[in-house]
Structure formats: C-alpha cells, structure tokens
C-alpha cells in the first residue's frame, strides 16, 4: 500500500473541512506577483466617502470661507455672477476664496466647483454665499403682529439705532435651521431711528416694492411713507399661535435679535414638552442654542416665549420703548386695541383684559 505524505493528508483534511481554504492558499501568493494590493492598514484608513461642505460664509469684503469636513483642494470653480482673480488659500478644513473686487453686501453669489481630498475622493459643490457687510448698525425687532385681518396683515418692524448698512440682514419666519419664509435685505443706508417694516402677507401687487433709496416708493397695506418697506414675496403670513422671528447678520449667520412666542404651556408628559408641533419645538431650541433667547430653566419650554393670545391685528406685540434687549419675554408687552404703530415709535400703553 502506497504511503501517504503526512502533509498531503493534512491538506486533504483541511480541504474536507473548508474547501475554499485551498483556493486561498493558492491564490494569495499569486496576487502580489501581478498587481500588489495596498497594505491592509492603508485600506482600513482609506476613506471612500466624498468630502462634504458644511458652511459657506463671508469673512470680509474680499473673502469667502468654505468649510468642509476634511481638508480639500479646489480642482475647478465657476462663479455666478462672474468673479475675477480668485486666489485660494488653504486653512485646515477651510478654503478661503479671496477676490480682487469687493463683494456687495446682501448680494447673492453662487459657486459651482469640483473639490478633491488628500485621498483622491472628489465631490461636486453648488453653494451660494453673500457679500460681507462690515457696517451693520445696531438693529432690534421692535413690533410684531401675528394675528391679522384683511386690512391689517402681519408684519415685523425693526428699529435702527445708528447709521449703517442693512444689506444682507436676514429676517426669518422661524429660525436659521427651521423656517417657512425669510427676507434677505437689500443694501439700504439707514439712519439712526429709522424703522423697517417687513410685510409677511403681501397682496403681490405692483405697488409693493422693496424700498432701497426712497422710503415713500412703496404702496400696499400697512406700508408707511417714512419707513423702509420690504415685502416677503408670496409670503403667507405668520403663525398666530406659536413660532419665532429671527434676525441674523446674513443667511445662517450669527443672531442679532430674536422673538419667540407660544400660546402653550409646559407639559412634562408630552414628548415635545407641550409644544404643538415638532417644528415649533425645533425653532425654540435652535434660537436658544444659538444664544438668541434667554430661558428660565435648564431646557426650553413653550412658557419661555411671549403668549400672543391677547394680541390682534391692531393690538400688536411691542418691545419696550427704551429698546432694552435682554433677549427674553420680559422686554415685551401687548398694546391696547388700535395701538399698533408700524413705522413710528411704539406705544408704552399696556393692554388690560
């Protein structure tokens, strides 16, 4: 009887237990001789996900910052409107785009680009940014109507305390993270004690024009010949029960002022703490997380906002005439019927039920 080699018997036993093992033993030594695979640690460290743009923001009149989730290089870029002589500076996870010309405050620009990370992953980026405004004056939300009538639609009035440029300021019906409509301001050279009326329920008639140089240029309901009137195109008004009004330096920029309101109260048994909808909860949380509103407890609840229930279309919600801004409901009161004063100083009278 032919004697079987011990190693041959072990190989046959291994094949019976795991037939693929023999294939692996044969193939593995062959691969490096053809086209060597990368070292296993390199394969584990390799990221196959494309880079992601987190934020685009103006940094000064000539510079825009694009922040990504990892360092990237710019392969190609087109701008609309066109920008000339663009230089790219790498700053860790940011690309700084420096242009020779000044970017206009409040003007929207688009970039269509291809970017690549250090591992060769590429991504297409289509994003907008706005020209930087270095001359923003102190501005506060001053008067609000959230419960409207046919002849007295909703509006938000801003009060300007010093001369400056309003270009790029953004007023949200909601918050930067969760909003329904918003108004991005054109370049307006405002003076101290100017008022801006943002109309959230326009009739969309020709008379409703954004005023840039002439305060008397606009018509429409609740416009004022001595205030700057701006219109939210196709706006459908404001919630009469709960919501937020947020003013930022530019779209998704730092909060300059905010106003939160709700007719509901805290309910510890409700997964949304008593907020009527998830959207209302997210607006409150977003504004408070960004430092736009002060709360009394450890977490935000509906009671932290102003109760709009007593207000009407002519019984507006007013900031105190002093203009003090504690970013809380303590700054606000509701005026008596027919006490709304869009475009002029607020009434100090307080509604008594």
Q: Judge whether 321 and 348 are in contact, CB under 8 Å.
A: yes
pLDDT tier, 226 (very low <50, low <70, confident <90, very high otherwise)? very high
> Phi and psi for 285 in degrees, rounded to 5?
-65, -40
- 3-state class (DSSP) for residue 108: strand
Name the pLDDT band for 10 (thresholds 50, 70, 90).
Answer: very low
For residue range 97-125, list pLDDT tens digits in order.
Answer: 999 999 999 899 999 999 999 999 999 99
Q: Which residues contact 316 (CB under 8 A, 6 or more apart)?
A: 143, 144, 145, 334, 335, 339, 340, 341, 342
What Å distances lie between residue 188 and 108, 268, 302, 332, 348, CA to CA? 15, 46, 35, 27, 29
pLDDT tens-digit series, residues 165-188: 999 999 999 999 999 999 999 999
Q: Which of 135, 127, 73, 149 is nearest to 106 (CA)?
A: 135
* Residue linked to tokens 């790029």: 168
Instruction: DSSP letter for 171, please.
Output: E
The token pair at 122 is 């590429």
- The encoded tokens of residue 193 equal 């004690």
pLDDT band at 19 (very low <50, low <70, confident <90, very high): very low
Q: Is the pLDDT of residue 242 over 80?
A: yes
Quick: pLDDT tens for 330-352. Answer: 999 999 999 999 999 999 999 99
Cβ neighbours, 10 Å, residue 194: 23
Q: Which domains does the chain have, with CATH numbers?
A: 53-130 (2.60.40.1220), 139-334 (2.60.40.1260)
Q: How far apart are CA 27 and CA 95, in angstroms?
A: 45
| CA–CA distance, 274 with 265 (Å, rounded to integer) | 6
Strand 94-99 with 53-60, pairing: unpaired
pLDDT score for 44: 52
CA dihedral in degrees (113, 116, 117, 123; nearest 10)? 70
Residues sharing a CB contact under 8 Å with residue 155, sequence separation 6 or more, in sequence order = 143, 144, 145, 197, 198, 199, 200, 222, 342
pTM of the model: 0.82
Number of C-beta neighbours around residue 77 at 10 A: 17
CA 341 – CA 112 distance, rounded (Å): 45
Instruction: Kindly give, in sequence order, each residue whose CB lies less than 8 Å from that of residue 93, ignoring residues fewer than 6 positions away.
Output: 67, 68, 69, 70, 71, 72
């Amino acid at each position: 009887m032919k004697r079987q080699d011990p190693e041959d018997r072990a190989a046959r036993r291994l094949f019976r237990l795991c037939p693929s093992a023999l294939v692996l033993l044969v193939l593995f030594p062959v691969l490096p001789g053809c086209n060597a695979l990368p070292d296993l640690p390199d394969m584990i460290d390799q990221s196959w996900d494309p880079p992601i743009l987190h934020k685009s923001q103006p940094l000064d009149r000539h510079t825009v910052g694009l922040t990504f989730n990892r360092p990237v290089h710019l392969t190609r870029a087109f701008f609309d409107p066109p920008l000339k002589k663009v230089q790219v500076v790498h700053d860790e996870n940011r690309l700084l785009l420096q242009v020779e010309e000044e970017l206009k405050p409040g003007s929207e620009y688009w970039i269509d680009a291809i970017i690549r990370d250090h591992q060769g992953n590429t991504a297409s980026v289509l994003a907008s940014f706005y020209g930087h405004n270095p001359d923003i004056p102190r501005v506060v939300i001053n008067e609000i109507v959230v419960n409207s009538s046919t002849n007295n639609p909703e509006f938000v009035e801003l009060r300007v305390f010093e001369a400056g440029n309003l270009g790029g300021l953004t007023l949200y019906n909601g918050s930067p993270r969760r909003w329904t409509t918003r108004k991005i301001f054109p370049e307006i050279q405002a003076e101290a004690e100017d008022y801006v009326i943002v109309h959230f329920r326009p009739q969309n008639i020709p008379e409703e024009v954004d005023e840039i140089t002439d305060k008397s240029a606009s018509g429409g309901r609740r416009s004022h010949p001595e205030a700057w009137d701006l219109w939210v195109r196709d706006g459908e008004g404001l919630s009469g029960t709960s919501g937020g009004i947020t003013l930022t330096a530019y779209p998704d920029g730092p909060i300059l002022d905010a106003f939160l309101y709700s007719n509901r109260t805290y309910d510890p048994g409700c997964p949304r703490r008593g907020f009527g909808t998830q959207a209302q909860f997210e607006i409150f949380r977003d504004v408070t997380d960004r430092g736009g509103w002060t709360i009394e407890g450890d977490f935000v609840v509906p009671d932290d906002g102003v109760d709009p229930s007593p207000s009407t279309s002519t019984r507006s919600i007013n900031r105190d005439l002093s203009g003090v801004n504690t970013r809380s409901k303590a700054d606000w009161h509701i005026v008596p019927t027919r006490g709304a004063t869009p475009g002029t100083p607020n009434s100090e009278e307080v509604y008594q039920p």
